[in-house]
Amino acid sequence: MTVKGILRYKFVRQTLYFIILIFSIEPIMNWYLRIGTNFELSSHGINIYISKSYTKEEKDSVYIRHIVDEAIQRLKGKNITESGWNINAYFYYTNDEWDRKSLYYMTDNHAKTHAYLNFMMYCSASLVENKISNYGSIRDLSETMAHELTHVYEYKKLGFLKYLYNRVLCDWKIEGFSDYIAGRTNIKVSEEMNKFENNYPDSSTFYTDYFLGHLRTDYLIRHKGISEDEYWNSYYDIDKLDNEIRQAIKNNEYKFENF
Ligand SMILES: [Zn+2]
C-alpha cells in the first residue's frame, strides 16, 4: 500500500494530526513565551528567562540564584529532591505582559506551571526583594517557586495521565500537596480556619480551595503519617475527610501547621 493509500484512512490522519499537535505545541508555546525576554542563567536545571522590562539590578544573577536556592531548600526540607529540574521559567514584568502571555486565562494567579509543556511562568516580581505581586496581592517569590516546582515534581512522579486525572477530579490534592511542600504562609489562615470549623461553604474565596487542599494534605501526611504513595493512590470522600478533621481539631488531637 502506498503512503497516499494509508493516509486515506481517517483514523491514520487523525492520529498523525494529534501527534504533530502534541509535539509542536511545546516549542511553539515556549517560543511565544520567550518573546520579549532574555535568557539569564540556568540554576539546578531551571532555565531562567526574564522580561526585558526588568532593570539591570533586578536581573543580577545573585538575586535570582538566591531565590532558586531558597525554593530548592523548601523542597529539600520535605524530602523532595531532583537532580536536575530541566524546565523553563519565565518572569514577566507588567500585568499587561502577564495577561498576554497567559493568553488571558486565569490571570489572577501569581504563577502558572505546565510541566508537560516544559514551562513555569511568573507575573511581576521583585527579584531583589524576593516578592511577587499580582494586582496588588503580594507573596514571597521563592515560596511561590517552591509551589510551582512541586507541580513539576508531581507531574514527573505521576505521569501525564495520572496527573491529568488528579487535576480534573481532585485538584485539591495537586494544589494541597504543592502548598504543603512549599509551606504557604500568606493565606489568612485564621479566617479560613474559622470558616472551615463552622462549616460555612458559602463564604469561600479564591484562597479557600487552596487552604482546604493544604489542610487535608497536612492532616493526612504530617498528622496521620500516611506515605506519599498512599496519598496519591487513595480515594478520599472529602465530606467524610473534612468531618474527621473537624472532629480531630475539636478533640485537640490535630492542629494545622502551615510551614
Ligand atoms: Zn498550584
E-strand ranges in the chain read 37-43, 46-51, 87-91, 111-114, 119-122, 125-126, 131-134, 137-140
Q: How far apart are CA 110 and CA 114, in angstroms?
A: 14
In this structure, are 56 and 80 located in the same domain?
yes
Residue 128 domain flag: yes
**pLDDT value, residue 10:** 76
Q: Is the pLDDT of residue 35 over 70?
A: yes
Give the range among 15-24, 30-39, 120-129, 205-214 with minimum mean pLDDT.
15-24
Based on the fold, state whether residues 48 and 150 are members of the same structural domain. yes
Q: How far is the CA of 36 from the centre of ligand 1 (A)?
A: 25
pLDDT of 230: 97
**Å from CA of 159 to ligand 1 middle:** 17
Instruction: Output the pLDDT for position 69.
Output: 96
Same domain flag for 60 and 145: yes
pLDDT above 90 (res 231): yes
On whether both 138 and 178 belong to a single domain, the answer is no
Q: Report yes or no on 107 lying in a domain.
A: yes
Final residue of a structural domain among 126, 157, 188: 157
Q: Does residue 22 sit in the same domain as residue 44?
A: no
Position 256 in a domain: no
Q: What is the pLDDT of residues 179-205, one digit of tens each?
A: 999 987 656 788 889 889 988 766 667
199 contact partners, CB below 8 Å, separation of at least 6: 246
Q: Which of 131, 157, 183 is the last residue in one of the domains?
A: 157
Q: What is the CA(148)–ligand 1 centre distance, in A? A: 6
Residue recorded with cell 512541586? 150
pLDDT at 203: 65
98 in the same domain as 195 = no
Between the CA of 11 and the centroid of ligand 1 the distance, in Å, is 36
Residue 259 lies in a domain: no
Q: Are residues 132 and 74 in the same domain?
A: yes
How much distance in Å is there from the Cα of 58 to the middle of ligand 1? 25
Number of separate domains in the chain: 3
Residue 121 Cα to ligand 1 midpoint, Å, equals 12
Residue 207 or residue 97, greater confidence: 97
Contact between 137 and 146 under an 8 Å Cβ cutoff? The reply is no
pLDDT of 207 higher than 70: yes
Q: Is the pLDDT at 165 greater than 80, yes or no?
A: yes
Ligand 1 mean position, distance from CA 8 (Å): 43
Per-residue model confidence (pLDDT) at position 122: 95
Residues 176 and 224 in one domain: yes
Q: What is the DSSP string of 63-76?
A: HHHHHHHHHHHHHH
- The alpha carbon torsion through 166, 222, 150, 203 (nearest 10 deg) reads 60
Residue 15 confidence (pLDDT): 78
Residues 88 and 195 occupy one common structural domain: no
Q: The CATH number of the domain where 101 resides is what? A: 3.40.30.160
Residue ending a domain, among 157, 188, 220, is: 157
Same domain? For 40 and 153 the reply is yes
Averaged pLDDT score across all residues of the chain: 90
The reply to whether 200 and 99 lie within a common domain is no
Given this model, what pLDDT does residue 187 score?
A: 67
- pLDDT exceeds cutoff 80 at 70: yes
Per-residue pLDDT at 133 exceeds 80? yes
Q: Is the pLDDT of residue 62 over 80?
A: yes
Using the mean position of ligand 1's atoms as its centre, give its distance from the Cα of residue 176 in Å.
Answer: 8
pLDDT in tens, 97-125: 999 998 888 777 889 999 989 999 999 88
Which H or E run contains 15?
A: helix 10-34
> Which one, of 98, 155, 95, lies nearest residue 121 by Cα?
98
Residue 206 and residue 128 share a domain: no
CA–CA gap between residue 259 and residue 256 (Å, rounded)? 10
pLDDT value of residue 215: 95
| Mean pLDDT along residues 12-39 | 86
Rounded distance between C-alpha atoms, residue 35 and residue 42, angstroms: 18
Q: Quote the domain boundaries for residue 103.
A: 35-157
Residue 99 counted as domain residue: yes
Distance 96 CA to ligand 1 centre (A): 21
The position carrying cell 526588568 is 54
